[in-house]
Amino acid sequence: MVILIHMRTSVPDFGRVDTEIFIRDVLPHAAGSYIQVAHAAGWGGITEHTIAALTTFADAFDREPRLAGNIYFDLAAVIGDSNEPTRRNELAALIQRIGSQHFLSASDYPLAPDLLDHYTRVYPMLPLSAREWRVVRGNIAPYVRPGFRRSVR
């Protein structure tokens, strides 16, 4: 089974507490399932809420590495021109800490209609190494059917 979750809510203080609840109350019941966290736990851009949520995941994975096993964070509508360099650095550090193998290239097409620009100009704004980018760009969620996998490479 695959669980796709949009974690970010409209509450002004979304972040650590909400993510701790998800980790405590949902993850134990999702054992054996793949979990895709949309927008890297935010709802677009790199905000303090996104950073707080991802930091909470990273802390939990540091404490219990098995929790990270089947979790993937998509980067749809996360990286963009409007992100402050400081926020891009924070996100890059969290990708490195959690592991680039847990992040998926994604778009909110048709909201990002120029996918070539999105993947060639916008994504590289995030300061990751060439190797880390190869991993992120090459990641395909393990629950994607084999026939489709060939078409996206």
User: What span, in angstroms and rounded, lies between the C-alpha atoms of 23 and 14?
Assistant: 14
- Show the tokens assigned to 108: 């909110």
Is the separation of the CB atoms in 98 and 54 below 8 Å? Answer: yes
| pLDDT, tens digit (0-9, with 9 covering 90-100), for 30-65 | 988 999 999 999 988 899 999 999 999 999 999 999
Spell out the domains of the chain, with CATH numbers in brackets. 2-142 (3.20.20.140)
pLDDT tens digits, one per residue of 77-133: 898 888 999 999 999 999 999 999 999 988 776 666 677 787 788 888 899 998 998
pTM here? Answer: 0.90
DSSP code string of 73-138: EE-TTTS-TTS-HHHHHHHHHHHHHH-GGGEE----TTSS--HHHIIIIIGGGS---HHHHHHHHH
